[in-house]
Structure 1
């Protein structure tokens, strides 16, 4: 008889996929067969004008995790529904709030088969109710334990965890606190974690905030900004960790740029001095706003340094808002991020305790 664990969160983009990768990797080391899926697909690119949903419905996150872990296709569990405006409109028209026959098949599969089933749930406790696939519904229907990955800002962050505990009851196995300011990890483990344990919240890890995991590819910025790529289109896989605005004088800009790493620099198309200074720093892409075109010598230098040069129609303020919204709100679909996630979970999570609760073999280190 198999074991099922649900990974959920109180809000989207809390770090569920990173924890999934870390848990799965440690159990694979112990020789335990792993199956992974997302009952409600949330990251599948689908255009209803081009045809029906693909079958089987394999979420992009599931595909990436499967490829990263080397799982066979048969160990990727298809999603039952896709969360999208189109499918939500259809569900509303149908007035149907259950997951349908597919949920019964899912239940039979995870109960009957040996090994371990890891299911990543939607972005919050409520998300998926329209499809009958919210986290509480899945926990109850599958009689499964839940681990919540929670973004920790300060002690007020505990309210959402206490509300989740009331909703999930005995299904809640515990929590992992994520995106903690690195300097505060030690004090949090020493002072806050014991307090949470006294409130009945088992804490399996405190993970520091990671600029790498929050980073966004140049290609994603191109998509979100609807930008024109002037040069180096083949370098869109570069990861942007920080944002800089080139609005100061060139001497101040050079000093500022030297203190930053893996930047996207946003500046006016007429600020050639700032643009050239940015190219000599740790710049992953240069984004030009406003009227005008870059000078040929700028394009030539960007090509020499392999730095993508983008041109957008937005003004600087609107461009910055789009980029800031992207940080921390993208899927974990890059190999370098997955490698870092493995290390982050191994170094900062105490999964032995979780595996004991689930009556699973504790991997040897």
Structure 2
């Protein structure tokens, strides 16, 4: 079966993102693709669960995400496979070396989290197949990862919920700007103090898709009733607002890729110009 290995020189380079993007783009062009995750490194189990929910169980071709680093074992196991290397602005030199090491098996390089100045980076003659720009929606952590980092009591979402943290807005602590503030800032997720019930309700009324309440004080019953009625993901943490923001900020780009419908649609848009027609041309 034609096989493509998705590799990177370092962990958290975006291999899972690229594997999913390739599979979806190829499927839209008529190529039935299965997704697999090799290895037992960090995030392997969560990636397997993700792939099983997205990929065809038996495709005409196969995309395999392999652990970061040396590809010798993976190439021995998947004889004849081609290799797609994922680079980031900080790993260009290492990605070039990895790409050169696989010789004729190389399909090309995808530059992930690219800044505008990174487009067209030099990979010593290696074909750059696609550029995925730096994007907060793709880098956003899952709700489950946020709850864990905040040691939060979580309601209205399950442990394996694929949803990720939307556009994050911090509620004002100096004044009550009301619903208009959250409307103007297009807030999708809101961090708000536990002693600010009016702000909590304003965020819910503005359509916030997640409410993170800090400070550990009791939340008023009418807020809890609205949260339950709207089934809004709700996280209560003992951390103060500053500590909560710092904890959440550290998760961006540092957690496993999660795939809710909005994120997948956004990924398709970012990957729309990638020419992947030749990825499996000489594989098998």
Q: TM-score, normalised by structure 1?
A: 0.63
**2: distance between equivalents of 1:355 and 1:144?**
8
CA distance in 2 between partners of 1:268 and 1:314 (Å): 10
Matching residue within 131, 139, 146 for 1:206: 131
In structure 2, the CA distance between the partners of 1:251 and 1:160, relative to structure 1 (3 Å rule), is: farther
| Residue equivalent to 2:55 | 69
Deviation at 1:7, TM superposition (A): 0.2
Q: Which has the higher helix share?
A: 1
Q: Does structure 1 conserve the Cα–Cα contact (< 8 Å) formed by 2:146 and 2:248?
A: yes
Counterpart contact for 1:177–1:205, Cα < 8 Å: yes
Match of 1:118 in 2: 63
Relative to structure 1, the CA distance from residue 11 to residue 256 in structure 2 (aligned partners, 3 Å threshold; closer, same or farther) is farther
Residue in structure 2 matching 1:150, options 87, 104, 108: 87
**Equivalent residue for 1:281?**
206
Quote the offset at 1:289 in angstroms.
2.0
Task: Supply the distance in 1 between the matched residues of 2:38 and 2:156 (Cα, whole angstroms).
Answer: 39
Q: Does 1:243 align with 2:168?
A: yes
Larger Rg over CA atoms: 1
Deviates more, 1:213-222 or 1:283-292: 213-222
| Runs of at least 5 residues in structure 1 that lack an aligned partner in the other structure | 46-58, 76-114, 126-133, 361-365
1:109 match: none
Q: Which residue does the alignment assign to 1:173?
A: 107
- Gaps spanning 5+ residues in structure 2: where? none
Q: CA RMSD in A?
A: 3.6
CA drift at 1:293: 0.7
- In structure 1, the residue corresponding to 2:246 is in which secondary structure? helix
- Work out whether residues 88 and 112 of structure 2, in 8 Å CA contact, stay in contact via their aligned partners in 1: yes
Structure 1 pair 348–221 and aligned structure 2 pair: CA distance change class (3 A):
same
Alpha carbons of 1:146 and 1:282: their partners in 2 closer, same or farther (altered >3 Å)?
same
TM-score (norm 2): 0.77
CA distance in 1, matches of 2:29, 2:153: 48
